[in-house]
A and B are shown apart, each in its own frame.
Chain A
């Protein structure tokens, strides 16, 4: 089943999504790219109702591009996330709502920060250090909480410290990719309908690029 992950590290955001296109129980394709490059420094992983996803992703892509053509500079990641959220929130109360869940990863050239937004089909948006959508999220989110504790190399002193200590925003890209691999392995191990291939993209100060795991 569809799964996407994203996590931030020192100066970058990694976004990963499975590559399966399925109808019912049949796998139609296993090299589908579900991560759109919305700009030189902006990535969007999308999942949800098959027709809606592509339609909505292209609508977003074209509008973000239009903004850049009109104004010469691109939308900042936070502004793009707000605009996309609003589109979904307006769609939610329309006759035919888009059922699309998104992860927006970007590098803001104005304040030199990597940012990640978790957005669901209702138009809920929240900025997070790591995020996931789909069945994989049930495994990945708890793993990321725990994995990050291991990175602190110390026993959390109190129960309440756990979530405050999870994220290592200073991890290098190699460490970040290793963490991502653990998520993918965990999902493969525990989820009955786990996807077997993922596409992984990274955005940092140099822009977006695809990486091989």
Chain B
């Protein structure tokens, strides 16, 4: 979700095989964890890519890990060779082309990217984007959703989101959107994590949620 000079990204924390929950804390990456759940084995995780850029990977559990590892490889090589951090736009196209490489045997992941991009003037501009599983990018100005609860997320977000929210209000909006949507979805929930990315810092909070 986009706010005033800030963006937020949130995800639930469940990993399950169909209806059987396996873990409520799939966290293997420092800083943040993951999350979003799914039909046949899914989770989504939100991963920090740089200090100002996060990606959420909702979908099939094995592909969450595989894609995260591949992106880490490519971003590390990019950073070390270019000697600068990758921009959100560039990263989004990297994600998109990685997915499209598997056009006829895709990874079952619909990534969400959120970050602050640098303007030529030196300022920062909120950036969010989502993709389908073969990498078609949706650059949005308000909010993007993905995962098993996406249909419910659309409804709640449509009702709660408004332009130019300050970081704390954006946190409240995205948290309420996620928790309420996820409660209507059997495959998602079991806790949530929210990151609000602002100019000076990233506010990361773990939310308690219904455990049923």
Contacts and interface: CB of A to CB of B under 8 A. Distances in A.
A128 B22 contact: yes
Contacts of B27: 127
A131 B22 CA distance: 8
A89 B22 contact: no
A85 interface: yes
A124 B209 contact: no
A162 B211 contact: yes
Given A85-B65, A160-B210, A162-B211, A141 B20 contact: yes
The CB with the most chain B CB atoms within 10 A, among A89, A122, A137, is that of: A122
A161 to B, nearest CB: 9
A124 B20 contact: no
Nearest to A132: B22
Contacts, number: 59
A118 B23 contact: yes
B62 interface: yes
Contacts of A162: 211
Contacts of B61: 120, 122, 124, 126
Contacts of A128: 22-23
A138 interface: yes
Interface range, B side: 20 to 34
A125 interface: yes
B41 A89 contact: no
Nearest to B102: A93
A13 to B, nearest CB: 16
B208 interface: yes
A139 to B, nearest CB: 11
B159 interface: no
A85 B28 CA distance: 14
A123 interface: yes
Contacts of A88: 62
A100 to B, nearest CB: 13
Contacts of A123: 62, 65-66
B22 A127 contact: no
Interface string A139-173: 00100000000000000000110110000000000
B17 interface: yes
A92 interface: yes
Q: What 3 A-B pairs are tightest by C-beta distance, nearest first?
A: A124-B61, A123-B62, A122-B62
27 contacts: A86-B66, A88-B62, A89-B66, A92-B62, A93-B105, A120-B17, A120-B41, A120-B62, A122-B61, A122-B62, A123-B66, A124-B60, A124-B61, A124-B65, A125-B28, A125-B65, A126-B15, A126-B22, A126-B28, A126-B43, A126-B61, A128-B22, A138-B20, A141-B20, A159-B211, A160-B209, A163-B190
Given A122-B61, A127-B27, 17 more contacts: A85-B65, A86-B66, A120-B62, A122-B60, A123-B62, A123-B65, A125-B28, A125-B65, A126-B23, A126-B28, A126-B43, A137-B20, A138-B20, A141-B22, A159-B210, A160-B208, A163-B211
